[in-house]
Amino acid sequence: MFDLESLVRPNIRGMKPYSSARDEFQGEARVMLDANENSLGSAGPEQFNRYPDPQQRAVKQELAKLKGVEPAHIFLGNGSDEAIDLLVRLTCVPGQDSVLLLPPTYGMYEVAANLNDVRIERIQLTADFQLSPEIVAGVVASEAKLVFLCSPNNPTGNLLHAAGIEEILRGFRGLVVVDEAYADFTDAPSWTTRLAEFPNLVVMQTFSKAWGLAGLRLGMAFASPEIIGYLNKIKPPYNISEATQQHALAALHDAPHFEQMRQQLLAGRTWLAEQLPALPIVAAVFPSDANFLLARFRPDATAVYEYLLGKGVVVRNRTTQPGCAGTLRLTVGTPTENELLVQALREFNFAS
């Protein structure tokens, strides 16, 4: 029923990808004179004079073990942002096709669509930021090439109901992208465990959140080998630098530290979720499966935002997002940062 070929842009189907020097010769040779590299070495303290592995084999091998998927099901991007952009470009003919978004959600989907001159369809989530039978029916009826489902959702923090996602996977004609940037902060199983069932499923995760490597720029997409093959075909040949690949490998070998930070952030989330509702200016704290909490403030969230800024505490003002009037998004920090935030909010007074 699902036909990937008919979803892929015709020019990409027929396109011959760039064949890099490292595609045409892999491994070690005594004399490497094929890529116009500098055999003398590198300026700066470390050696990066050779082009990196365009397929990131070593990183994917480690990731495959960790995630329980085969390397052929993994794409690595310069942040998830690159995967988002490539998925839009893979499927949507500019000026013709559309993507479907479920606001309030992550802003980069819209930016990627706009950049590529791709129309945006929108179906707003319910008041508690969920899928409903009507929303699912709307998604399934859509002609969009791609739907982005963010779960746990940014900026609201909640998981989308699995049953709704499953119905969308069964009924939607385009690619279903489940963005799991916050997967490490939830007990719910990843949709990567369902890849074999759904040829239209793409799951995105990232090193930017629980791994603490936002500065590295490394995102993951998991999908069928056919979809991954197309993403590899259209990506810039050396999209993941050697420094990033080396660092990601070191991080993957440092899993105990990852786990310890993850637990500490989860404890911080629990603590904040207990403290915030007790404050008179907090009207609601939304349930979160992520490393942040969306909270509704009264009477004026933007005044609270400005007040916090004055105290040197930056949070995200989400008041203008659909369904998010009066809300600020608060990232879970260190225990000290969390206490500073709560103390500052406790001292906010309505006259200020």
**Contact flag: residue 211 with ligand PLP (CB under 6 A):** no
From the CB of 212, what's the least distance to ligand PLP, in Å?
A: 12
Nearer to ligand PLP, 150 or 159 (CB): 150
Nearer to ligand PLP, 154 or 158 (CB): 154
Q: What share of the chain is helix, strand, coil (3-state, %, to 5)?
A: 40, 15, 45
Sign of CA dihedral 295, 298, 302, 306: negative
Among the listed residues 151, 186, 192, 208, the single contact to ligand PLP using CB under 6 A: 208
**Contact flag: residue 327 with ligand PLP (CB under 6 A):** no
**Contact flag: residue 56 with ligand PLP (CB under 6 A):** no
Among the listed residues 142, 158, 186, 206, the single contact to ligand PLP using CB under 6 A: 206
Among the listed residues 52, 56, 76, 80, the single contact to ligand PLP using CB under 6 A: 80
For tokens 């989400």, the residue is 318
**Contact flag: residue 219 with ligand PLP (CB under 6 A):** yes
**Contact flag: residue 179 with ligand PLP (CB under 6 A):** yes
Return d(Cα 345, Cα 224) in angstroms, integer.
Answer: 47
Instruction: Classify residue 269 by burial, with Cβ atoms within 10 Å: 0-12, 13-18, 19+.
Output: buried
**Contact flag: residue 106 with ligand PLP (CB under 6 A):** yes
Return d(Cα 249, Cα 45) in angstroms, integer.
Answer: 20
What does residue 90 show for φ and ψ, rounded to 5 degrees? -65, -35
**Contact flag: residue 79 with ligand PLP (CB under 6 A):** yes
Question: Do 114 and 99 meet the contact criterion of CB atoms below 8 Å apart?
Answer: no
Return d(Cα 286, Cα 277) in angstroms, integer.
Answer: 10
Among the listed residues 15, 115, 188, 214, the single contact to ligand PLP using CB under 6 A: 214
Peptide bond into 104 cis (omega under 30): yes
From the CB of 349, what's the least distance to ligand PLP, in Å?
A: 33
Q: Kindly list the residues in this chain that would bind ligand PLP in the complex (CB under 6 A).
A: 79-81, 106, 150, 154, 179, 181, 206, 208-209, 214, 219
